């Protein structure tokens, strides 16, 4: 087990380093930020001074090593636009993104599992088929367009819910959150639902497939023969056994949800880090782009590592296969 | 389903006919295929079918901007789906946008298929360390969300047709590589490969003429899924303003253009392009779903 953990940790570090090289080298392909930031009428001397001030005149590999050294200290450069530490800017907006992503996951699980079990229990019933068709549609729907339609229906036509922004927030345990104010929750409903759609379809599909398989097994028949109620059989015996694949997939998908929040945040003007990165790409704010990419990649790698390690801890076959 | 279809083709049952008959067993799949063929022909024939050339700025009239569906132009032309903020006929713009979306989706899938198939074949045939190395790369690539990979590339490279193709290929190739390797590993144990080897055929001939054609069925299924994914991803990225350039208005850009007017109630500029996108993706997924069932030997009798 120790060897497996070490090997997996090393792999994560290598991938992280590779990503940092790609991100860093690539950032230099996207135009010169000096052109954008300083007065177009500036003379050569002024341009040279600005270039030197941002450290853009050194050789690329020196800049990369500087970048790594500073990154190790948690310094990913200062935003050209806000003139603040880039990582700080991203971290300020991370809670908003996490709040959105967690709410979306919660919606997907809370609605997805019961719907999926229902569809798996009565696959030929009208409700079961409607749920299945809905989940297939959920995979096909272009999420960004659905977001617009949600705004159109619930904000523009019906006027029930606000369409942009985060609403009132309160400070809980040192983090600003909109989960505990009525106004904040009202702002959260549409974006979280939008972000949840794909995961909801996924959870429904997994729960449905799992239920169909589990219902045929002997222990369910035995539980029925014992005279247990349907509620108890579904809530305890079926649920426990279909949860394993669902928990795994939800864990892995969490990284994808955070990445996809870029789209949802842009549509609903949600002040998270996804909206920030899209704005920053528009104005070529390199340090912020780099900080976002490095942080998001790190989050995804960490999630994958955690899921892999948990899996190996639970299932000895995984680490044996890896050791060969 | 296959039982009902069998007697029709008793005279000459070719693999193709059997496939078609089995495919036709699902009405939903036939509907999806028909829808796809209609969308495809409309997109291909756009210059003939569209009432207006949306790229021809001389034909656009700013006075006609943001007209609701069913309005008429000064010369009596019908704007069946309304016009956008530049006075473009939305129906024409959608047809041309479909063209862009389709060729970017299909083009990226073909390139990714070629790269993925080559990598998968090499991995399966070489085995050992090379195989382990290549598959580790595939695993790592697949552990990253597609949107994040595309975001990294496009944030770094900027927008453009070539760049979005590169991003879409990067996102897709690993799926093909994994599928081809898995199938090829099974297929290379088969007798016909052994027979070809006994005939002392050169390796490249065995791989391309014998092994590859037999790996095709699962690949075709992956292609349908991936083309639908690629089209959706391209639309998403173009919507965000980091995909295709404004000169190549794909469906995603059309939706984005309408976004600012939606809050004032001009719903059609965003609604119809997105709906066209939805129809396209659903049609591909419906047909692809059935293909998976038909081509899966495990589900056959």
pLDDT in tens, A184-212: 778 888 899 999 999 999 999 888 888 88
Question: Which residues make beta-bridge pairs with B12?
Answer: none
Mean pLDDT of chain B: 81
pLDDT the model gives residue B5: 47
Higher pLDDT residue, A217 or A104?
A: A104
Percent of all residues in chain B with a pLDDT value above 90, rounded to a whole number: 12
Name chain A contacts of B145, Cβ cutoff 8 Å.
Answer: 255-256, 259-260, 300
Q: Which of A148, A258, A305 to mutate to test the interface with B (most CBs of B within 10 A)?
A: A148
**A90 and A295 in contact (C-beta within 8 Å)?**
yes
Please give the model's pTM, rounded to 2 decimal places: 0.83
pLDDT (mean) for B157-184: 89
Pairing of strands A175-177, A170-172: antiparallel
> pLDDT of B56-114, one tens digit each?
666 666 666 666 776 666 666 776 677 777 767 788 888 888 988 898 999 999 999 99
Q: Which of B146, B154, B278 sits opposite A140 (nearest CB)?
A: B278
pLDDT the model gives residue A17: 86
Higher pLDDT residue, A33 or A204?
A: A204
> pLDDT of B152-169, one tens digit each?
888 877 778 888 899 999
CA distance A88 to A79: 10
The answer to whether B158 faces chain A, any CB pair under 8 Å, is: yes
pLDDT (mean) for B236-250: 83
- Tell me: pLDDT of B3 over 80: no
Name chain B contacts of A16, Cβ cutoff 8 Å.
Answer: none
pLDDT the model gives residue A250: 85
- Among the listed ranges B78-82, B91-95, B130-134, B266-270, which one has the minimum average pLDDT value? B78-82
Name chain A contacts of B144, Cβ cutoff 8 Å.
Answer: 255, 297, 300
The answer to whether B50 faces chain A, any CB pair under 8 Å, is: no
* Domain range list for chain B: 89-299
pLDDT the model gives residue A16: 86
pLDDT (mean) for B10-28: 74
Check CB contact under 8 Å for A29 and B265: no
Q: Is the dihedral of CA B183, B189, B192, B198 positive or negative?
A: positive
- Pick the closest to residue B257 from B108, B63, B54, B78 (CA basis): B54
- Tell me: pLDDT of B262 over 80: no
The answer to whether B235 faces chain A, any CB pair under 8 Å, is: yes
- Tell me: pLDDT of B2 over 60: no
CA B230 to chain centre: 6
pLDDT (mean) for A112-141: 84
pLDDT (mean) for B7-23: 69
Q: Which of B140, B242, B270 sits opposite A15 (nearest CB)?
A: B140
Architecture per CATH, domain B89-299, reads as Orthogonal Bundle (1.10)
- Among the listed ranges A4-8, B36-40, B64-68, B202-206, which one has the minimum average pLDDT value? B64-68
- Tell me: pLDDT of B115 over 80: yes
- Among the listed ranges A18-32, A237-251, B172-186, which one has the minimum average pLDDT value? A18-32
The answer to whether A283 faces chain B, any CB pair under 8 Å, is: no
- Tell me: pLDDT of B173 over 50: yes
**B161 and B245 in contact (C-beta within 8 Å)?**
yes
> pLDDT of B215-234, one tens digit each?
888 888 888 889 998 999 99
> pLDDT of A144-185, one tens digit each?
888 888 888 887 778 777 777 776 666 766 666 776 677 777
Q: Which of helix, strand or coil describes residue B290?
A: helix
Higher pLDDT residue, B136 or A72?
A: B136
pLDDT (mean) for A239-261: 85
Assigned token pair, B241: 């303003």
Mean pLDDT of chain A: 81
What is the per-residue DSSP string for A291-304? Answer: HHHHHHHHHHHHHH
pLDDT the model gives residue B301: 42
Check CB contact under 8 Å for A140 and B270: no
Most confident of A51-55, A185-189, B179-183, B285-289: B179-183
ipTM of predicted assembly, 2 dp: 0.79
């Amino acid at each position: 087990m120790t060897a497996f953990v070490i090997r997996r940790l090393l792999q994560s570090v290598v991938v992280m380093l590779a990503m940092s090289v790609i991100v860093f080298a690539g950032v230099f392909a996207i135009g010169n930020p000096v052109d954008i930031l300083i007065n177009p009428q500036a003379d050569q001397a002024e341009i040279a001074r600005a270039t030197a001030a941002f450290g853009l005149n050194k050789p690329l590999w020196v800049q990369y090593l500087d970048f790594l050294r500073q990154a190790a200290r948690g310094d990913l450069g200062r935003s050209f636009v806000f003139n603040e530490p880039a990582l700080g800017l991203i971290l300020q907006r991370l809670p908003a993104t996490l709040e959105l992503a967690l709410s979306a996951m919660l919606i997907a699980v809370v609605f997805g599992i019961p719907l999926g079990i229902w569809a798996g229990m009565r696959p030929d019933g009208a409700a079961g088929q409607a749920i299945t068709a809905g989940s297939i549609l959920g995979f096909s729907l272009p999420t960004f367009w659905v977001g617009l339609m949600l705004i159109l229906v619930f904000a523009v036509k019906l006027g029930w819910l606000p369409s942009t922004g985060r609403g009132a927030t309160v400070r809980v345990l040192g983090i600003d959150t909109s989960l505990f104010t009525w106004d904040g929750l009202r702002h959260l409903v549409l974006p979280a639902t939008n972000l949840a759609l794909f995961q909801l379809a996924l959870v429904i599909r997994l729960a449905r497939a799992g239920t169909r398989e589990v219902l045929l097994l002997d222990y369910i028949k035995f539980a029925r023969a014992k005279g247990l109620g349907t509620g108890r059989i579904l809530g305890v015996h079926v649920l426990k056994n279909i949860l394993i694949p669902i928990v795994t997939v939800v864990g892995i998908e969490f990284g994808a949800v955070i990445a996809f929040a870029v789209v949802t945040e842009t549509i609903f003007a949600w002040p998270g880090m996804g909206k920030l990165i899209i704005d920053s790409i528009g104005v070529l704010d390199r340090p912020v782009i780099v900080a976002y990419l490095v942080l998001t990649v790190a989050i995804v790698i960490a999630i994958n590592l955690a899921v892999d390690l948990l899996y190996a801890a639970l299932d000895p076959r995984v680490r044996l296969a890896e050791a060969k | 389903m296959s039982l009902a279809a069998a007697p029709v083709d008793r005279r000459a049952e070719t693999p193709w006919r059997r496939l078609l008959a089995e495919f036709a067993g699902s009405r939903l799949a036939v509907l999806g295929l028909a829808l796809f063929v209609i969308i495809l022909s409309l997109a291909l024939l756009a210059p003939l079918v569209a009432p207006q050339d949306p790229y021809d700025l001389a034909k656009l009239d700013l006075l006609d901007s943001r007209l609701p569906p069913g309005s008429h132009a000064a010369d009596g032309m019908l704007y069946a789906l309304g016009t956008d903020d530049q006075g473009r006929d939305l129906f024409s713009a959608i047809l041309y946008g479909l063209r862009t979306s389709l060729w970017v989706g299909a083009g990226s899938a073909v390139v990714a298929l070629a790269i993925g198939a080559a990598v998968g074949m090499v991995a399966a045939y070489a085995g050992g360390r090379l195989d382990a190395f290549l598959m580790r790369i595939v695993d790592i690539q697949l552990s990253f969300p597609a949107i994040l990979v595309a975001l990294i590339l496009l944030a770094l490279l900027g927008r453009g047709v070539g760049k979005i193709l590169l991003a879409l290929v990067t996102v897709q190739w690993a799926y093909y590589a994994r599928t081809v390797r898995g199938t090829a590993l099974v297929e290379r144990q088969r007798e016909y490969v052994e027979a070809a080897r006994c005939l002392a055929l050169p390796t490249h001939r065995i791989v391309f003429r014998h092994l590859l054609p037999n790996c095709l069925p699962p690949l075709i299924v992956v292609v349908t899924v991936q083309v639908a994914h690629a089209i959706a991803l391209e639309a998403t990225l173009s919507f965000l303003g980091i995909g295709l350039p404004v000169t190549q208005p794909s469906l995603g850009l059309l939706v984005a253009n309408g976004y600012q007017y939606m809050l004032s109630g001009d719903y059609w500029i965003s609604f119809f392009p997105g709906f066209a996108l939805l129809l396209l993706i659903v049609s591909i997924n419906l047909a692809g779903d059935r293909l998976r069932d038909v081509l899966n030997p495990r589900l056959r009798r």
